[in-house]
């Protein structure tokens, strides 16, 4: 397989930036209704300020290279994963916690259950992913005259970030037997944009929408015996 870095999937891994370990990266769909339960794991003065983080991203979104500017902010945030966990709590079920949903920027925390898989999908806008707990494995796909084909892969660990271009297609797996949590940022109206997903077995393309994503998360929590209102 070709290394994803050679294909403009820009990943940062444990790079030292401004004296701190840079981080992070990845996906998904509409579902404020699936907000994960917040359970603080630590307390104290080093808790991530989510409102400040969102405001910084909104301001950076006005810069010429907004995706890179926002990734710098994301990398700084996940370089201190304990601070993120202090603000968000350990993930306890599959779901999204939406911080911002606007026409030009979408920000949420995504929680994957142990060994959860997400089928190939597109975003139709740039996407940045930062991991603050667990691990997220990505397979990158491309459209061909014979359907989509896998062409690259990368594993994102805590403190890693990734910047995916507008035309990126990827599938995601949490390979761990514990939850993975990441902050996901999109350069547009993620929940209001009709995208595509591909059947994981046949690779047939089908529309992706909020109802399908909600059902996927519901089934995933059901698989683990987790109530949606827990
Ligand atoms: Fe994605």
Given pLDDT bands bounded at 50, 70 and 90, which one contains residue 210?
low
Distance 121 CA to ligand 1 centre (A): 6
Q: What is the pLDDT of residues 104-161, one digit of tens each?
A: 999 999 999 999 999 999 999 999 999 999 999 999 999 999 999 999 999 999 999 9
CATH number of this structure's domain 4-223: 2.60.120.10
39 pLDDT more than 70: no
Average pLDDT for 6-28: 37
Distance 129 CA to ligand 1 centre (A): 9
Opening angle at CA 180, ends 196 and 167, nearest 5: 25
Phi, psi at 127, each rounded to 5°: -140, 135
Distance 126 CA to ligand 1 centre (A): 10
Average pLDDT for 12-26: 34
Given pLDDT bands bounded at 50, 70 and 90, which one contains residue 45?
low
Given pLDDT bands bounded at 50, 70 and 90, which one contains residue 215?
confident
Q: What percent of the chain has pLDDT over 70?
A: 77
Distance 171 CA to ligand 1 centre (A): 7
Average pLDDT for 156-179: 98
CA distances from 202 to 120, 149, 183, 214 (A): 11, 12, 30, 22
Q: Where are the alpha helices (DSSP H) in 12-101?
A: 50-60, 66-78, 81-88
Average pLDDT for 175-204: 95
Distance 123 CA to ligand 1 centre (A): 6
Task: Of 37-51, 83-97, 179-193, give the lowest mean pLDDT range.
Answer: 37-51
Token pair for 110: 């995504």
Distance 205 CA to ligand 1 centre (A): 15
Average pLDDT for 173-197: 95
């Amino acid at each position: 397989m070709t290394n994803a870095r050679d294909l403009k999937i820009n990943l940062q891994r444990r790079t030292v930036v401004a004296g701190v370990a840079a981080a992070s990266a990845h996906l998904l769909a509409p579902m404020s209704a699936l907000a994960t339960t917040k359970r603080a794991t630590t307390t104290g003065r080093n808790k991530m300020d989510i409102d400040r983080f969102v405001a910084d991203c909104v301001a950076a979104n006005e810069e010429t290279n907004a995706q890179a500017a926002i990734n710098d902010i994301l990398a700084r945030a996940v370089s201190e994963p304990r601070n993120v966990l202090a603000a968000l709590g350990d993930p306890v079920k599959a779901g999204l916690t939406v911080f911002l949903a606007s026409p030009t920027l979408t920000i949420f925390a995504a929680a994957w259950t142990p060994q959860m898989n997400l089928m190939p999908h597109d975003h139709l806008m740039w996407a940045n992913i930062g991991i603050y707990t667990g691990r997220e494995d990505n397979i990158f796909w491309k459209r061909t005259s014979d359907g989509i084909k896998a062409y690259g892969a990368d594993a994102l660990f805590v403190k890693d970030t990734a910047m995916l271009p507008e035309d990126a297609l990827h599938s995601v797996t949490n390979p761990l037997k514990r939850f993975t949590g990441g902050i996901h940022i999109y350069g547009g109206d993620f929940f209001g944009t009709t995208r595509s997903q591909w059947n994981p077995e046949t690779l047939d393309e089908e529309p992706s929408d909020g109802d399908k994503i909600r059902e996927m998360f519901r089934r995933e929590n059901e698989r683990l015996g987790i109530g949606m209102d827990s």
